Amino acid sequence: MALRKILKYPDPILRQEAEPVTAFDDELKTLVADMVETMYDAPGVGLAANQIGVLKQIVVIDITGSEAVEKELVTLINPKITNGEGEDEDEEGCLSVVDLTAKVKRFTTIQVEAQDLDGKPLNFTAEEFYARVIQHEVDHLNGHLFIDWISSLKRALYKKKRKKQLLAEQSNEASS
């Protein structure tokens, strides 16, 4: 297992769509193990493969750390949200969108189709916070970030702040 680098906005890879996984082999298992290690290290409640620069439809989730329903580690390969109901607005953040949280509207109940690490089909209902995290991670696989769903003013302010941050980082590197 190895820690992978988490890409940060505005890295263009975060805007690309992930490809479906077709081979459920050892390479996939190693990749998922790396993703899990990287997620726990961050720490985060979810990670999509895009976030470590791998354009494959893989997400890992563990919301046990939250106050929500007890849930263990979940690996979803080729996940699709086939139905959504209800609507709820709550604060979200992202390991790839540093220094920002914002309220995002999501379905409260979703139907999910995916495969597990061995390629076995999964079909289940997710609710509340778990449903929110899945929607956030599936967004990543489609090249979306939660800032796509906030007001254009807030997004513009964040872009500006990020630009400044990156410039400061560059000049720090240049002077050291």
Other CB atoms within a 10 A radius of the CB of residue 34 amount to 19
Q: Find the shortest distance in angstroms from Cβ 72 to Zn ion.
A: 20
- The answer to whether 137 is a known catalytic residue is yes
Q: Per the residue annotation, which of 91, 137, 169, 173 is the catalytic one? A: 137
CA torsion, points 55, 58, 62, 67, in degrees to nearest 10? 80
Q: Residue-wise over 121-158: b if at least 16 C-beta within 10 A, else e?
A: eeeeebebbbbbbbbbbbbbbebbbbbebbeeeebeeb
21 vs 97 by CB, closer to Zn ion: 97
Please name the residue ranges forming H helices in 42-109: none
Query: Residues 80-109 vs Zn ion: string with x where CB under 5 A?
Result: --------------x---------------
22 vs 66 by CB, closer to Zn ion: 66
Q: Find the shortest distance in angstroms from Cβ 13 to Zn ion.
A: 13
Residue matched to tokens 């509340």? 128
Helices and strands per DSSP (H, E), number in the chain: 3, 7
Q: What are phi and psi of 36, to 5 degrees?
A: -65, -45
Q: Can residue 59 be called a binding residue for Zn ion (CB under 5 A)?
A: no
48 vs 120 by CB, closer to Zn ion: 48
112 vs 146 by CB, closer to Zn ion: 146
Q: Nearest residue by C-beta to Zn ion?
A: 94
Q: Find the shortest distance in angstroms from Cβ 95 to Zn ion.
A: 6
Q: Find the shortest distance in angstroms from Cβ 136 to Zn ion.
A: 5
Q: How far is the CA of 170 from the CAs of 52, 167, 174, 175, in angstroms?
A: 21, 5, 6, 9
The number of residues that bind Zn ion (CB under 5 A) is 1
**Residues of this chain that bind Zn ion (CB under 5 A):** 94
Residues labelled as active-site residues: 137
